Amino acid sequence: MNRKYLNRLSKFAIVAAVISITACKEEGGMAPEYMPDMYRSPSIETYVDFGELRGNYSDTNYTNKMTARQPVSGTIPRGFVPYGYENTPEGYELAGQNLKNPIAYNDKVAADGKELYGMFCVHCHGKTGQGDGTLVERDKFPPIPTKFVEGLALTEGKMFHTITYGKGLMGSHSSQLNKEERWKLVHYIRTAFMKEVVVQDTNVAVVDIIEEVITEVVEEAPVVEEHGH
Ligand code: HEC
């Protein structure tokens, strides 16, 4: 190795050392950005907030520039019917008094309810509704205080409220199940385990909920004037 080469190598080492030392000096552990466009793309990004990097808001000029926006507070999606009972003991009691299953009962509803129960509920509440689900039997979940037994002490509204918000150790299922599915489950639990006798309704099920949505859409639709030919 000749001297000249060593000399160059040591200069390079010094430069590298300086860079690596200064690189860590910035507050919050953030290094100065080399070619910031590579980190904060100038193109439109839907979900990226370029003012934020790993939880640090370094450059407020870029903050909150993402294109996906929070909806204005109080807005609801089209066709969505808000649930008017609060997640409180009073809301639970009120829902229990006022809410009635809007879905007519028939074989299809029963079958759908059974299927949903098998997907979302059976691992806790068990095949017989006695709280003997596999999670409980394998000691992965504490015993379930609710047993779906014969007798209909638990009202439909309370059940719907619980599936919507959850109760005690049971979590909310409103993100997985729409209202129609929740009411089908209520039907299923009441007929299969609580032995409710329901008159079969051979008309189309789901009437009320769907009708509610349709009337809203119709009311909102602009009036188109008909022109005679
Ligand atoms: C992770 C376990 C778990 C799952 C999954 C689960 N539950 Fe529950 N459920 C519970 C527990 C625990 C309670 C008792 C809550 C309490 O009173 O503290 C309960 C209570 C209930 C009650 C009684 C509510 C009341 O008002 O007393 C109903 C009805 C119910 N569950 C329905 C369902 C339905 C329908 C599903 C499926 C969509 C489901 N649960 C899924 C654990 C679960």
Per-residue pLDDT of the chain (229 residues; tens, 9 = 90+): 577 777 888 888 888 776 666 655 555 556 777 787 777 677 767 887 777 766 777 667 777 777 788 888 888 888 888 899 999 999 999 999 999 999 999 999 999 999 999 999 999 999 999 999 999 999 999 999 999 988 888 999 999 999 999 999 999 999 999 999 999 999 999 999 998 888 776 655 444 454 454 444 444 544 445 454 4
113: domain CATH number is 1.10.760.10
Q: Is residue 77 part of a domain?
A: no
Whether residues 38 and 115 fall in one domain: no
76 found inside a domain: no
Asked if 144 and 56 sit in the same domain, the reply is no
Cα-to-centroid distance, 2 and ligand 1 (Å): 79
What is the 163 CA–ligand 1 centroid distance (Å)? 7
Contact at 8 Å (CB) between 105 and 196?
no
Assess whether 120 and 39 both reside in one domain.
Answer: no
Q: Do 133 and 26 share a structural domain? A: no
Residue 31 counted as domain residue: yes
Give 90's contacts (C-beta < 8 A, 6+ positions apart).
Answer: none
Index of the ligand 1 atom closest to the CA of residue 145: 14
In the numeric block, the tokens 């049971």 are attached to 170
Residue 215 domain-assigned (yes or no): yes
Expressed as residue numbers, the domain containing 170 is 89-219
Phi-psi region of 206 (alpha: psi -120 to 50; beta: other; left: phi over 0): left
Under 8 Å between Cβ of 58 and 30:
yes
141 and 207 co-located in one domain: yes
**pTM, entire model:** 0.68
Is position 147 within any domain?
A: yes
**What's the domain count of the chain?**
2
What pLDDT does 24 receive?
A: 55
Residue 109 beta carbon below 6 angstroms from any ligand 1 atom:
no
C-beta 154 within 6 A of ligand 1? yes
Q: Is the CB of 170 under 6 A from ligand 1?
A: yes
The reply to whether 44 falls in a domain is: yes
Q: Are residues 105 and 187 in the same domain?
A: yes
Cα 227 to Cα 220, 222, 224: the distances in Å are: 21, 15, 9
Ligand 1: does its nearest atom lie under 6 Å from the Cβ of 145?
Answer: yes
Same domain, 101 and 178: yes
Residues 107 and 24 in one domain: no
Find the helix or strand (DSSP H, E) in which 57 lies. strand 56-57
Q: 180 and 109 in one domain?
A: yes
Same domain, 51 and 105: no
Residue at 139 is within a domain: yes
Among 139, 167, 190, the mutation site with the greatest number of ligand 1 atoms within 8 A of its Cβ is: 167
Q: Does the residue 28 lie in any domain?
A: yes
CA 107 to chain centre: 29
Residues 94 and 196 in one domain: yes
* Pocket residue to mutate for ligand 1, from 94, 121, 193, most atoms within 8 A of Cβ: 121
Does residue 211 share a domain with residue 160?
A: yes
| Residue in 120, 117, 133 with CA at minimum distance from that of residue 190 | 117
**How many CA atoms lie less than 13 Å away from 172 in the CB half-sphere?**
8
